[in-house]
Structure 1
Amino acid sequence: MNLDHPKRSIRSRRRRARLALAIVLCCGGAPVNAHDFWVQPSAFWLSPTAITTMTLQVGHGPARQRSPITLRRIIRYEAFAPDGSRADLKERLQLGAPSADGSFVFQKPGAHVIVFQTDDRAQVHLPFIRFNDYIKAEGLTPAIDLRVRLNRMDRDGSENYSRCAKSIVQVGGAVAGNQSQATRILGLPLEIVPDRSPYALPRSTTLPVRVLYLGRPLVGALVKLTRLEDDAVPFEMHRTDRAGRATFAMPSGGTWLLNVIWTRVQPSSAETDFDTTFSSLSFGFSPNRAVRTP
């Protein structure tokens, strides 16, 4: 995509995304658990030692809200510094507080990555029409294939689900510190790993990412890029290739979310049919930067 002349391609992408969303809504809408989930810092570009708050967000468009998740479900909330050092942030959680769900303080210049992960004990049970709409809209091939092969498309569906999230924040100015932490694999069961930090200079015109599932490249997953200032529909969507990769136009302003969902079949002894993981990566740009906005 040519970022110097983006208007036509942006309109085209948004028309396609809105059409896809309208089809899903006409068929009954996506289930609550299919909503995006992410870590939303109050700012993505920080001064050293500044206390920064964050909220846990779920949903999109008019349905966007603070997540009601409970502390007992959270198994990771930590940060990785530019030098690779790790800090546990769970003691800084304030879930459900009036203005924020937690806070953090970073000192070292460069890209820091916040990592969040829940357990998979939550369950959802849906009527077959809504479940079919959901797995088709999100491209959950393992669920579609099983239900078609066993002639179960007219049966209600169920799943356990977990959530994973990463957020990249920059401490210091655009040329400050190491950016390599943003591109490292941090051990989430479903993880979006950029090949290049969105904050790195010189700026690239593309944002290539890898998607890993249980440590291996994930083929055929639907990855969505959403501008959080206009989050009713995704800005851009791609399926991962045989290497688990997808490439997006590099955003140059605003705040952004990449998200992906994948599932696997549960054993017959399980309470639900599938085990699904939701994963996201959030990042954003300083409002003081002189950049072009898509």
Structure 2
Amino acid sequence: MRIWLVVGLALAAGAAQAHDFWIQPQAFAVEAGGATAITLQVGDGAERQRSSIPRRRIVRFEALTPDGTVRDLAGALTLGASGGDTAARFEAPGAHVLVLATDADGRSRLPAEKFNAYLVEEGLIPALEARKRAGRSEREGSERYRRAAKAIVQVDDGEGAAMRPAGLPLEIVPLAWPRTEAGRLPVRVLFEGKALAGALVKLTELTELTELAGGAGPQASRRTDAAGEAVFAAPSAGAWRLSVVWTKPLGPDADADFETTFATLSFGVSAPWPGACGRRTAGARRPGGRRP
């Protein structure tokens, strides 16, 4: 009975609202001194589009350089402009990390079945169990939410800032970058600065650097272990996005049931990693609807 309940919820997830949001450089690799246009994207497959998030909700937009310098990019945002939401120039060799954080003023409210389905789809089983303990499984669910996104832009060679935490409320940190462990991409998920166990991390391929594979779901998903770590097969050449969602219950006087953080890490691989496997695993379509 329990198995069929989970299956039914997963099938119903198509009506929930959990689209990924990510930073999309036009190029994930540039020469020293080179620049690239950058857009903020939201959606999946054919539903991908430029994000319409308002400027007032963005509380942090920076570039972390290989030597540890932090460059504030918020003043250069041109949201909705035809040439992109901003552009950035990268001088020093190594990996630079673009970092964006929003406030938690996003709001979502769903009927019970759709909200429960969304929790299953994103692997948020503790939240599902919390609703059950509180006797709220048959009631609508509400959350306030925020975004935490990173993108790696590679300038020539070197790790740079790629493997350093950025201090986001929820983030995915590569443990090997680049090619330091043949055939593997190990990552750690941090929530409020601590290793997060039991989080569902998804790996999705991006095509032509600017668009998601039409209609495709994640190529792979892994749940983090007690150390907050998950290991993927090293992706082949191309552009990729890792994503994770986590939520925590709020008190009875709060304006929502949960506070949720959606986090992504987008990056490019310029050549196949040693031992990389080209096979793709089938992925279910992500929930429908979209959040800015």
Q: Verify same fold: TM over 0.5.
A: yes
Over the aligned positions, Cα root-mean-square deviation in angstroms equals: 1.8
Identical pairs, percent = 48
> Taking structure 1 as reference, are residues 47 and 260 closer, same or farther at Cα in structure 2, changes over 3 Å only?
same
Gap change, CA 1:141 and 1:202, over 3 Å in 2: closer
- Answer whether contact 2:9 2:113 (CA < 8 A) is retained: no
The one of 154, 169, 172 aligned to 1:192: 172
* Equivalent residue, structure 2, for 1:8: none
Residue 133 of structure 2 corresponds to residue 149 of structure 1: yes
Residue 11 of structure 2 corresponds to residue 31 of structure 1:
no
In the alignment, structure 1 residue 52 sits paired with structure 2 residue 36: yes
Residue 79 of structure 1 deviates from its aligned partner by 0.5
Q: Which residue of 2 aligns with 1:179?
A: 159
Give distance in 2, aligned partners of 1:158 and 1:203.
Answer: 41
Pair 1:106 & 2:84 matched:
no
Asked whether the equivalents of residues 147 and 261 of structure 2 are also in contact (C-alpha less than 8 Å), the reply is yes
Q: Which residue of 2 aligns with 1:211?
A: 189
1:89 to 66, 70, 73: 73
Deviation at 1:30, TM superposition (A): 4.4
Q: Note if contact 2:115-2:140 (Cα within 8 Å) is conserved in structure 1.
A: yes
SS class of match (1:62)? helix
Deviation at 1:59, TM superposition (A): 1.1
The amino acid of 2:218's aligned partner reads P
Give the Cα–Cα distance (whole angstroms) in 2 for the partners of residues 267 and 150 of structure 1. 12
Measured in 1, the distance between the counterparts of 2:258 and 2:60 equals 23
Shift in CA distance, 180/23, structure 1 to aligned 2, threshold 3 Å: farther
**Residues 273/254 of structure 1: CA separation in 2 closer, same or farther (3 Å cut):** same
Specify the SS of the correspondent of 1:29. Answer: helix
Aligned to 2:227: 243
Query: TM-score normalised to the size of structure 1?
Result: 0.85
1:79 aligns with 2:63: yes
Paired residues of 1:50 and 1:106 also in contact (CA < 8 A) = yes
Partner of 2:288: none
For structure 2, the 5+ residue unaligned runs are 1-6, 208-212, 279-292
The alignment status of 1:256 with 2:240, answered yes or no, reads yes
In structure 2, give the amino acid aligned to 1:102: T
Q: How many residues align?
A: 264
Judge conservation of contact 1:253–1:293 (CA < 8 Å) in 2: no
Question: What amino acid maps onto 1:181 in structure 2?
Answer: A
| Residue matched to 1:271 | 255
| Aligned-partner residue type, residue 246 of structure 2 | W
Does residue 100 of structure 2 align to residue 122 of structure 1? no
Instruction: Determine the structure 2 residue equivalent to 1:5.
Output: none
**Compared with structure 1, are the counterparts of its residues 30 and 238 closer, same or farther at alpha carbon in structure 2 (3 Å cutoff)?**
farther
| Structure with greater helix percent | 1
Q: What is the CA–CA distance in structure 2 between the aligned matches of 1:240 and 1:77, rounded to whole Å?
A: 27
Shift of 1:141: 2.4
Unaligned runs of 5+ residues in structure 1 are: 1-21
RCO comparison, higher one (Cα < 8 Å, 6+): 2
Give me the whole-angstrom Cα distance separating, in 2, the residues matched to 1:167 and 1:204: 22
Matched with 2:150 is 166
